């Protein structure tokens, strides 16, 4: 079995699992409470062959005429857990992708926007 695990880290961390042999999908999430240990245990339990994780982008957003950071810093902590897992288990391939590559971020230029994911039943 080759397991691909997509991770969108944040206050609520979203997961998409794909078993390439059976072509079966599964979606889940952790949070919104702190879930550092739960994320670690999930990675240990699943033992993914490939992890695709959304990277952290520092961005400024404007709200009511004021510019302010538009980031969730807890994401960095969860990304650190994912990176450590991939370093400790080098048979796992880690691919980092920007929010824009996955369809999120401020540009919303990616192919898989939330509406499209909902339409094909892949939005959790």
CB atoms near residue 103 (< 10 Å): 17
Query: Which residues make beta-bridge pairs with 94?
Result: 51
**pTM for this one?**
0.79
Chain segment 18-35, per-residue pLDDT in tens: 999 999 999 999 999 999
Chain segment 24-63, per-residue pLDDT in tens: 999 999 999 999 999 999 999 999 999 999 998 766 767 7
Mean pLDDT of 12-19: 97
Higher-confidence residue: 119 or 70? 119
Question: Of all residues in the chain, what percent are helix, strand and coil, respectively (each to 5)?
Answer: 30, 30, 40
Domains of the chain: 3-119 (3.30.420)
Mean pLDDT of 91-106: 79
Chain segment 77-98, per-residue pLDDT in tens: 999 999 999 999 999 999 999 8
- 51 vs 61, 69, 99, CA distance in Å? 29, 28, 15
């Amino acid at each position: 079995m080759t397991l691909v695990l997509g991770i969108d880290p944040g206050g609520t961390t979203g997961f998409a699992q794909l078993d390439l042999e059976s072509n079966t999908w599964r979606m889940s999430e952790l949070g919104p409470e702190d879930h550092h240990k739960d994320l670690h245990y999930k990675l240990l339990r699943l033992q993914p062959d490939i992890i695709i994780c959304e990277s952290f982008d520092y961005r400024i957003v404007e709200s009511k005429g004021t510019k302010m950071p538009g980031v969730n810093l807890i994401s960095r902590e969860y990304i650190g857990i994912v990176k450590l897992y991939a370093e400790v288990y080098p048979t796992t391939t880690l691919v980092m992708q920007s929010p824009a590559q996955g369809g999120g971020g401020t540009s919303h230029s990616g192919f898989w926007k939330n509406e499209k994911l909902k339409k094909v039943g892949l939005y959790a």
